Every structure is written in structure tokens, then in C-alpha cells.
A and B are shown apart, each in its own frame.
Chain A
Amino acid sequence: MAETDFSDPKYYTNRELSWILFDHRVLNEARDKSIPLFERLKFLSITASNLDEFFMIRVASLQDMVNAKYDKTDIAGLTPTQQLKLLDPAIHQLVELQYSTYNRSLLPQLRQNGLQIIRQHEELTAEEAAYVDRYFEENVYPVLTPMAVDSSRPFPLIRNKTLNIAALVRKKNGKDELEFATVQVPGVLSRIVPLPSEGGVRKLILLEEIIERNMHKLFLNYDIVCAHPYQIMRNADLTLEEDEAADLLKEIEKQLKKRQWGEAIRLEVEADMDKRLLKILKEELRLDESYIYRIDGPLDLTVLMKVYALEGFDHLKAESYTPQPVPELPAGCNLFEELRKGDVLLHHPYQTFEPVVEFIRQAARDPKVLAIKQTLYRVSGNSPIIRALAQAAENGKQVTVLVELKARFDEENNIVWAKMLEKAGCHVIYGLVGLKTHCKITLVVRKEEDGIRRYVHLGTGNYNDATAKLYTDVGLMTCSEAIGEDATAVFNMLSGYSEPLVWNKLSLAPLWLKDKFLYLIDRERRYAEEGRPARIIAKMNSLCDRDIIAALYRASAAGVKIDLIVRGICCLKTGVKGVSETITVRSIVGNFLEHSRIFYFQNDEHYEIYCGSADWMPRNLERRVEILFPVDTPKLKERLFHILDSLLKDNVKASVLQADGAYEKAGRRGKPQFHAQEAFCREAVAQAKAAAREDGGVTRTFIPETHQEK
């Protein structure tokens, strides 16, 4: 029998198509009638912002490759041109489903629940019309910049991702010559405008409808023939995606002149836009038909997030969950003292992120602390962590912060507070040349009675107190000497020093994290071949590394049972005979964004569990600084296993990848309903309560003073 080539492209799914399936899964949440109505709005909004990002990053990148005549095939053997060809219908289909969900399902239900979103200004009552016109004159008119196009005024630059209204206008006293005019819907004003109502149904109208209604006031000497909103997206990403190969970068540098900067890659227009108007846009923006999306409803559905935020509809939202205190680290405790008692595992957002913030805060104040070192990827706007770090520097601690400026979309934000940290006296490192620093690690060095002791926090999620309420992540807090030494070495390397001779516990990308994973996977394969128990459970956000997938196939062929929990992209195919029959893939899309990366290897009888910042993607394993850390304490290992086990049991939010490449909701097969995220919430509440009771018990005990014999 010929040996199977596990890296044959036929065993792999294209990552972009797999991504579309992921957005479909999110869209399924918006379509799920068992979910509170406003949550469904939120999910629909998320699918839209996801798709925007997908266009800006992935489609733009494919477009670049096509322009550069770069035709290397992807993991599934497709050239960039072929990929774009396959994506086009898939995206159109996704968009159609978005709007049919909105129009057929969500809009009517909102109406039933007392909220009406007015689709067209023509539907306004006379009273309401008068209100919006006044609103226009008082608030909107002063900030508008109408632009007309004629022989002396060229077609203006339409800015990326802005909402605009295009119109065909005709001079009042002129002949029938039509002119093109456009006006940007101002981003400074709220896009949703509530209308006055007396009890009963609340009504909303979108800003562009108000402007459209009042177009004639902008072009006084003209008649408005027609006016329709439109939005474009440009390939304006100045930096290349890190996912792409280095040889692409070279190719593009060579072809730089050929690259059309800021070329439009998507045009969204109202479905019933006047054909003449559409033709002008199409020609001016030089767009093919496939780039045009005719939208039956409001453009840019991310506006629904604003609707979600409306007050008074709490009964239509999911019950809000408060992250619970961590029993091992009660509020007000001295974290360093508690950590000396043993390692602590944090499970966010079920448990609060507060101990992590408090860790920095206490370190900043503690006179024994000598140094604080931290990597920051994306932080929240008004971050308490940044404040604590600045405070620490002012208190004379040595504070080293690695700020990743290359974090997508966050550059500007990052620069601002990085400057602020520098001013406070922190040593700020602005990333590493050629590598994105994605690992999440904090090191606190403390000079104690018996010498230096290092406290370390390692996590799977960013140091962002806001997203920590929404993303599921795990973190380990420890003062283990071995991890402390490694953490020091990590920061030494990030500061530009040479690699240490030996690492104790941590595995680092891009050094040899990938080799470590390949080794761990292969070890299971060997055990399986020897007839010993062998199993892998791995949870991550995306899986698209060819070498890893090939290793998984090889392990599966040897009989290793492999269960993968992959939220997003998955290039691995399940159920292929002789290749992946023992592999299952499930994706959990729930109220919280699944974000933790946890890896279980049965390792005969001594199972090992690792957590880390890296997905099984080439960019994580090869072009980022990532850390994988083992969790050794038996109790904590059990907890992590419980997390994986619960997610595998989920039959409410889980979808399972089928052999045909589609995802289907996990079947119940007579089992009771099990919703893992909800179960974690309940467990966290119960644990916190139990801990509080125990605590109370202690303080109620009197301790009598007794005479002690020496």
C-alpha cells in the first residue's frame, strides 16, 4: 500500500471559505429564535463587522496577490484568482442571508416588541417628517459637505468605510443634463435618531434617510432626480498581512508600482439604486460587477450595535453576568502572600479579571517590588493596567513594557498610551523587528527576606479589562521558580539579549513552539501504534497550519482519538478515510467569544495540559512571539480538563464539522441540553458563594488567648 501523503491539498479546506462558514455560524445565532431578540441584533451586527474586517484584510490581500501576479497555491491547492472566484458567490450568499434575517425575522419582531425602525423616510407621518426636518436643519446641515461633479470639479475621493449618499441632480433652469453629486453621512452624529413618541411603539430612523429626505436643501439650484446611500471599501491596508509569506512581500515590493493603492474592492448600494447613478459609481471607481453588493436594507449593519445599546429593552437581552470573585484570591488579599501558597488558575469571564489588574496595582505600591515587566497587545481605552504601570514607574520600580504597535487596527491608540508610559519613566519597547509580540506575560520581581522571588501571570488573552468580560480566556498566576526564570529570559530576549542556554517550562514561538507541538502530537501517535491509550484535545481560535494538520492526520491514521474545539477557521477535514476518521471538530459560538487556547495530550498515563497565546496557524507559530505554558498542579490540570470536557459535551452552542465540510448543530441524541458557557457561569457563582461562606465561618470564630507552656 502506498503511503498516504498527508499534506496533499485535497485533504485541506481553503481558509477563506472556512472563515465564511464561521461567519455563517455567527449568523445562525442571529437566526436562532431561542435567543433574546436584542442578542440576535448583536450577532447580526457582529457578522457585519466581521465581514468588513475580512474584506479589508483577506480579500484585499488576495487582490494584492492577483495584482502582483503571485500565483502560489494555498493549503488547499488554490491560486489567489481561484480563491477570489470561489469567494465571490459565497460572500454574496452570506450578505443575502444577513439581510433576509434582518428584514424577514428581526424587523417584524422588533416591531412586535415595540420598536420600529423606519425603513424609508417616505413612511414618516407628517408630524414626524416635520420633526426630522427640523432635526436636519439644527444638527445635520451645519456639518455636511455636499460635493457636485462637473467638468471643473473632478470626482471626489470617497473615503474608505464611510457612508455616503449619491444623487443625480439637474440644474433648475438648465436642460436635461444630469450631474453627479455626493455627500458624506457625518460620522460625528449618531446614525440612529429616535423619533418622539407617546408611549406604545418607539420609532427610530437612520440618519442617511433624514439627509436623503433633505437633499434638495444641499443643492439649492438643482432638482434632485434620485438619491441613494452607498458605501465603499478600499484596499488601503498599508501594511501587508503577516499571514502571507515573506516571498510575497518581496514580490509586492518588486511590483509596487503595479499595486493600486486604495483601489476599491467593494461597493455597497441600496438595492433599488437608479441604474444611471450606479453606472457612474461603477465607472468612477473602476469596479467589476462582482464587487457590487445590492443591499436590501440599511447599509452597514454594524449600526445594530447602537440599537442594541438602547435603553429600556433589557427584557429582550440576555441576563447580564457579573464575573465572579476568584476563591483563592479574595478581594483585598495580598496577592503575593496568596500566590506563595500555590498556583492559581483564572477562568475569564466567568471569574473576574480583577486579580490581574490588582496584581499590577499591588506590585506598583509594594516597596519590595523591584521590577514589573509586561507585554501589551491590545488594551482598553482607559486601562487601569496602564495607570498602574505608570504609577509603578513613578514609585521608582523598573518597569519594562513591550507594546505591540503592529496590533491590527489599534496602532494609533497604542502609540498614545505608549508615549504616556514613557513619560512616566517606563522603559517601552515598541515591538520587535519582523515579529509581532502576541504572548501575554507579566513578571513581577520582588526582593523578599530570602532573596529574589518572581511572580508571573501567563494568559491566553490580552491584558484588556474590557474584553476580559466578553472573551473566554484562562490565566495562570504562579511564583514557581522555573517559570520565573523562564519569564526573565523571555523579557531578556524581548529586550534584545541572546537566548538562554536552557528553558525550564515555557515553549516559545517562533523559536521552537511548533516543533514542540509536532513532538507532542507525534508522541501520541507513537503510543497509539504501541497500542497504548492516546488522545488529543485541543481548543483554539483557528487551525490552518499545514504541518500541524498533517501531523494530526498521521496521528489519526495511527488511531489517536482527536477532539478539536476550533471557533473560527479550520482547514482540517474530518471523516476522510485513512486520514481523519478519528478526528472531530466542533465550533462553539456563544454569548462569550471563545478565545482560550488549551491543549491536552494524554501521554500514556500522565496527561499533560498546556495553555498559550498561539493558535495552530503559521502566523502564530512562525511570525509571532508566543508562549505555551504547561499547567502542572494536579488540581488545576483537572480544572482545565473539566473545561475541555464541558465544551465537548455542549449540545446547545456547538456546531460539528461534517465530512462534507458543512457545520451542523451538535445533535442531542436524547441527552439533556447542556450549555457549556452557562454551566461555567453557574459553577463560578457556586464556587464564589462557597468561598464566601467559608470565609464568613472563619471570622465568626473567636480565638481565646491561652497560656502557652514553653
Chain B
Amino acid sequence: MSVKTFAAIDVGSFELTMKIFEFSQKGGMKEIDCVRRRLDLGTDTYFNDKISNEKMDELCRTLQEFSDRMRAYKVDGCSAYGTSAIRETKNTTIIQDQVAQRTGIRINVLSNSEQRFLGYKAVAARGETFGRIIGDKTAVVDIGGGSIQLSLFDNDTLVSTQNLRLGVLRIQEYLNRFEAKSSQAENLIEEMTMAQLGTYKKLFLKDREIRNLIVVDDYVSPCIVRENGSDAMLTAEDYRVFQRRIRSGSDTQAAMALGVSEEKVPLVFISALLVAEIAELMGAERIWAPGATLCDGIAYEYAEKNKALSGLHDFEKDIIACASNISKRYMGSKKRSETLERIATTIFDSMKKVHGLGRRERLYLRLAAILHDCGKYIGMVNIGENTFQIIMATEIIGLSHLEREIVANVARFNYSRFVYYSEQTGASRLDRDSYLIIAKLTAILRLASGLDRSHKQKLTGLKAALKDNRLVLTVDTQVDITLEKGFFRMREDFFKEVFSIEPVLKQHKEL
């Protein structure tokens, strides 16, 4: 049977959701069940730092029900993700462990960038419409409680993504603090947001043209979906009409009209206003709120990992494009990066049997190669450390915090002395496995940089082959590669140490 069933669980700050999905080549991704239960974990976490026992019990009870339901559907797989309430509580690991012991469900904690990435995958899960729309100039705004994420697409590819601390709950909190009257609310919100959005425009948007705006949120999207369906594309004018409706009348009337609970109306109002401002700022002509939720993204991720669907969007391309843009921002050399990336991946690919790493690690290597020289933007000495700091301070959508740290370290050790696991100091909490990945990728990247020491991209037509204990690299070039050979030998020690393989550089001269 080519049909796969999967359960996606979102342990959100205010609600627990489980969706059951079915994947088939023919029918694509199909939601077949969705259960949601209100559970306010957020208040516990944000105000008491910890999730209380009562909430914990309720969490386990509901997850147990979810687990029973998964069994009933005989699911082939399941993932559970926790967002800020789980991430920010002091007892995260205790909670994770207790839940796993009591319900058999392992809650993974999402970092902001991972969560955003899933939100973006959720939109991609809408398949065709998504593919069609991002071919054009498109922005995605993902509105959360604490912050919003703005991502820009061009030509099918993500080109930039930025986090702005303009979350709905945060704004609501400010309004409460200022004791703003509802008549003032709109102006206040506008003032608060325009400052940040203006900077954003200057630095990132520049004069980029945006046609479509995709909205991901839990506030205004459900209302739009309820009224128009999840495929409806609103014109800017349609949207203004919709927004005006929310504004007019009391909260009670708005709640009735929108089909949401009254307490949610102010949040819908803020979210709707944010969308309107961003749409105006960007000059977007069409607005699409597909009502995508985290669960959709989780399911999409599962489909990717298990090849349960065909025609998936290439997110790796997005991540690479994103990294290239960062490199460009810090004036990295595009040519040099490309050469380095090519050499490094050639070595990586020829050594699969030895390093035992997979596709994801290959991506880290590529990213490290692309970003390896960002640090030069700050100064020509200490490049490694500077590069490390830049990467750690820049959000790369689609990479978890841990993954980012791996990439940053590989880039760092390309220049600096390798710091062994036992020598580690500072705040990093990398585990041994991740550290080993860093070591392996560093070894490869170092060797690759050695081969392009002159930065003149001399080594065209590089071939790599593993023969017994030797990695034979053959270059097909007429030019003098004495310099490269020299650096190559200087850099092979670490490579030998990590892989017990001796790299040999050969020049194939066609006379």
C-alpha cells in the first residue's frame, strides 16, 4: 500500500493540536482528522517560569488521548513539537521526559527559526498554489505571539528572512500597559510598528518589488479561511474591506461576525492591522491566507524525510540561497565560495564510505563553504572567530540552533586551530556526535581550502577517488599548482587524523 499515515502534534502555548495526515503519490497530502484542545501552558511559562503540575497532568492526559487516536489510525509515524511555552519553561527536559514516560510521545523543542521554517513548509504543503505564487515576487509574513518573521521570495527561492519583535501578544501587552483606549489603539500600533518596519524596508526590502503577501498566523487566517476558503486570493481592496469590518462594531459583534471567541478579537484586530501595514509597505497586490498551521508543516517535513510525496519544494535551495545572501551582505567572494563549495563537495562525495555522513551534513558543509569568509568583513585577522560570531548572530531559516552552531564551527576551524571536545570552554553545549560531525566537515573543508589557496580557482576538472587508504585527487590543469600542493600538504595532517586517509594531489597534464 502506497498510502502512509502520519500524526503531527503541536504543543502550542495556548492549544494542543493533533492532525492526522495521509500521504499518497496520487492524492498528495490529505488531512483526515484534526483535534484541538485549549490548554494554556503559556501563562505558566511566561509568568511562573515553569509549567505547573496540574497543567502537566492535563497535558499528559490529552497527549495520551492523542496517542490512543494515533493507534486507532495505525499511523506510520508521528512527530510532536513544542513551541515557546515548552522552549522557555525552566523545566523543559523534565517535562519532555515525563511526557515521554507517561504517554510515549517525545516532544521535540523547536527553536524560533525551526518553527518559522515549519510555518513556511506548512504553506508549501498547499502544493500547487504555493508553487505558482512564489514564482512571482512574494513575501511571507508569519505572525506569532512574540515576534513576526518576514521572508522574501524571488523566482521560487527564498532570498531573505528577518525576525521583528512585533508579535501580536507583545503588542497587546504594550497596549494594556499604556491603557490605550480602543480608539487610540490603531494609531498606537501603527506608530509602534512603523518604526521597525521602516528600518526593515531600508535595510532589507530596499526597492524590491513585492506582488503577493502570504499570511501565516493563528488569528486572522482562520477568519479569512472561514469566509473564503483556504485557496482564496484576496486583492488588496478585498482585504481592506475585510479589515474595515473587524474594526466596526463592538468586540461582541466582531466575534459573532468572525466566528471567534470574544477574547481573541483584539488579537485578530492587531494581526489584521499588521498584515495591512506590511502589505502597504511592500505594495503587495494580492494577499493569501491559506490557514496553514504548524501541524501542516510538521507533516510536510515528514513527507520530505520519507519521500512520501513527489514534487516537493526544494527547501535546501532556499537555505543555500539564504546563505549566499548573507555572504553577499558581508562581501564574501562569490567565486571563491563557489569553488570552495565545489571542491569540498567533491571530496565529501568521494568519501561517503569513510565519513558515513548524509545529505543533511553535506548541506552543512556547503553552507560553511559559502559563509567561510564572512569574518573578513570585520577584519583580516581572526577571520575564523569573526565568521563564527557572524553566523551565530544571523538567523538562517531552516536550520536549528544546533545545526547553525555546527556550520559556524566548521567555518571557524577552517581558519582557527581546532578545539577538541575536551578543550571546549564557554556556553556551547554541543554533544559528542555533533562535535564529530564538526571535526569531519572541518577536515574536508580545510583540505578544500588548501586546494584553492591562491583564490584563483586554478583547479578546474577536479576528480576524487578513494583507493585503499589514499584519497587521490586529480586536477586537470596546465597551470602551476606548486602553491596549492604546498598548502595541501600543510593541511593534510588534520584530514589524516580524522579519517586515517592520506590525501594525494595529482596533476593530470594533457600535453
Contacts and interface: CB of A to CB of B under 8 A. Distances in A.
B291 A452 contact: no
Interface in B446-493: none
Q: Is the interface of A mostly helix, strand, loop or mixed?
A: mixed
B231 interface: no
Contacts of B34: 489, 492, 500
B16 to A, nearest CB: 9
Interface in B95-124: none
A125 to B, nearest CB: 70
B3 A370 contact: no
Interface residues of B, number: 28
A150 B69 CA distance: 66
Nearest to A496: B37
Interface stretch (A383-391, A443-451, A578-586): A443-451
A574 interface: no
Greatest chain B CB density within 10 A among A397, A449, A501 is at A501
A497 interface: yes
B1 interface: yes
Nearest to A488: B33
Given A398-B71, A451-B30, A452-B73, A501 B24 contact: no
A497 B36 contact: yes
Contacts of B73: 370-371, 445, 447, 452
A370 B72 contact: yes
Greatest chain A CB density within 10 A among B24, B35, B225 is at B35
B245 interface: no
B37 A498 contact: yes
Given A497-B35, A501-B226, A502-B226, A452 B22 contact: yes
Contacts of A371: 72-73
Contact of B69 (A398, A449, A485, A500): A398
A398 B33 CA distance: 15
A447 B291 CA distance: 27
B380 interface: no
A501 B37 contact: no
A579 to B, nearest CB: 30
Contacts of B1: 449
Interface string A417-439: 00000000001000000000000
Interface string B62-89: 0001001101111000000000000000
Interface residues of A, number: 22
Contact of A451 (B22, B72, B225): B22
Given A450-B24, A450-B27, A451-B3, A497 B37 contact: yes
B353 interface: no
B5 A501 contact: no
B69 A450 contact: no
A498 B36 contact: yes
B38 A447 contact: no
Contacts of B393: none
Contact of A452 (B5, B65, B69, B226): B5
B3 A450 contact: yes
B241 interface: no
Contact of B24 (A397, A451, A497): A451
A490 to B, nearest CB: 12
A496 B82 CA distance: 22
Contacts of A485: 32
A450 B71 contact: no
Contacts of A500: 34
B222 interface: yes
Contact of B74 (A370, A450, A489, A496): A370
A500 B15 CA distance: 13
Contact of B38 (A370, A445, A492, A498): A498
B26 interface: yes
Greatest chain B CB density within 10 A among A451, A485, A496 is at A451
Interface in A350-388: 370-371
Interface in B284-340: 291
Interface in B1-59: 1, 3, 5, 15, 22, 24, 26-27, 30, 32-38
Contacts of B38: 498
B289 to A, nearest CB: 12
A199 to B, nearest CB: 65
A487 B99 CA distance: 30
Nearest to B3: A451
A667 B400 CA distance: 81
A452 B30 CA distance: 10
A397 to B, nearest CB: 8
B225 A501 contact: yes
Contact of B27 (A398, A445, A447, A451): A451
Contact of A449 (B3, B35, B68, B291): B3
Interface string A437-479: 0000000010101111000000000000000000000000000
Interface of B: 1, 3, 5, 15, 22, 24, 26-27, 30, 32-38, 65, 68-69, 71-74, 222, 225-226, 229, 291
Given A452-B73, A497-B35, 18 more contacts: A445-B73, A447-B73, A449-B3, A450-B3, A451-B3, A485-B32, A488-B33, A489-B34, A492-B33, A492-B34, A495-B65, A496-B37, A497-B37, A498-B15, A498-B37, A501-B225, A501-B226, A501-B291
Top 9 closest pairs, chain A to chain B, by CB? A398-B72, A498-B36, A497-B35, A451-B3, A451-B22, A452-B32, A371-B72, A492-B35, A370-B72
